[in-house]
Amino acid sequence: MSVPSTQYAFYSLTKSLCFDIVFPMKKTTIIFIFLLLSANFDAYAFWIWSPKTKKWKNPQYSALATPYLQYREALKHFENKDYKKAYKEFKKLLIHYPDAKKAAEAQYYLGLCLEELGKPYDAFLEYQKVIDSYPNSTHINEVVERQYHIGEHFLNRSPKRWLGVSYYDFVDHPAIEIFTRIVEKTPYSPYASKAQYKLGLLFLKLGRYEEARDAFQKVTDSYPDSQWAIPAKYQLAITIAKIFPGEDYDSSPIEEAQKRLDEFIQAHPDAEISSVAEEQLDTLRNKEAKKNFEIAEFYARQQKFNAARIYYEVVVKNYPESQYAQEAHSKLRELKDTQ
């Protein structure tokens, strides 16, 4: 093996030590160790003795002379789309110059690099460090926006399944942590109310109805003037109906939701939620109509016709488009004919 003259002394010393140590051993063992050291010699060649620090150092892990130069080096790799190398260089800046002016920038770029490398959750964690450690960073709004979109990425991604069982039956959904952090750490950001609303939708999707109810209630309480307050009231009614699926649940939240939802649909006729809301609202109205119709039927069987008439009229007046309205009309005519 050819050895540069500047490394000859180190190489000779290595060979000498090798033979001194293994002299009593068999010849095959000597050859094996020598080959092993020779194969790894190039790695040793990267280590340089520093007279100043009196330590061996590897330039691969060392930062440049100033934080600015280190930042420019990292940024160069990022602009060249070598995100893996850029990540390492930004990391060096944070390790060697944690108090530098460019530290916040480096922390922000760590998140960008990880996003580009297809590691969204790790990127979220790096972005969170910007918020926690550098609250005055000029990138705070961008960081929150990127965290929100990472949360939506996980929210909209189909969960992995094994034998029909969802992966999220065993571990918590990452979007829960992401949306919760946004609300807790940046409650006044433009994405806080939206994250809180999406948190409710996620709990609803996972069948965690009480947590969904609390999440939607927080939207209406903490962000009453946001665009998400009205749909949150609607979703709150849906959730309450799921928590109390029987016929004795309090219908006042649904009545309130109907009013608010009608206002929302009129104000946002092209919104995606409008068509979905109308379908679900029809389902709820049918459920309410059925409840009142069956109460009327109960009083009719008890021959308490005045009470029965009141509930039939509620169905006709409040739920005219429900499947029970026409039948309630017929029952009212029958009651009129019997008197």
- Would you state the pLDDT for residue 336? 80
**Position 22 in a domain:** yes
Residue 278: the pLDDT is 72
On whether the CB atoms of residues 46 and 58 are closer than 8 A, the answer is yes
pTM for the whole thing? 0.65
Amino acid at 269: P
15 in any annotated domain? yes
Domain that holds residue 27: 5-52
Please check whether residue 48 lies inside any domain of the structure: yes
User: Total domain count for the chain?
Assistant: 1
Q: Is residue 189 part of a domain?
A: no
Q: Are 47 and 56 in contact (CB under 8 A)?
A: yes
Rounded CA-CA distance 92/95 in Å is 5
Distances (CA, A) of 254 to 207, 250, 281, 285: 19, 8, 9, 9
Domain assignment present for residue 11? The answer is yes
CA angle 171, 176, 181 (to 5 degrees): 130
CA nearest neighbour of 130 among 151, 116, 112, 117: 112
Buried-state track 163-195, b at ≥16 Cβ within 10 A, e below 16: eeeeebeeeebbbbbbbebbbebbeebebbbbb
pLDDT digit string (tens) for the chain, length 339 residues: 444 444 444 444 444 444 444 444 455 544 444 444 444 444 444 566 556 656 655 566 677 889 999 999 999 999 999 999 999 999 999 999 999 999 999 999 999 999 999 999 999 999 999 999 999 999 999 999 999 999 999 999 876 766 555 555 556 899 999 999 999 999 999 999 999 999 999 999 999 999 999 999 999 999 999 989 888 887 887 788 787 765 455 666 566 656 666 766 676 676 666 666 677 667 777 878 888 899 999 998 988 888 999 999 999 998 888 889 999 989 898 888 776
- The answer to whether residue 47 sits within a structural domain is yes
CA atoms within 13 A on the CB side of 306: 0
> Is residue 95, in this structure, part of any structural domain at all?
no
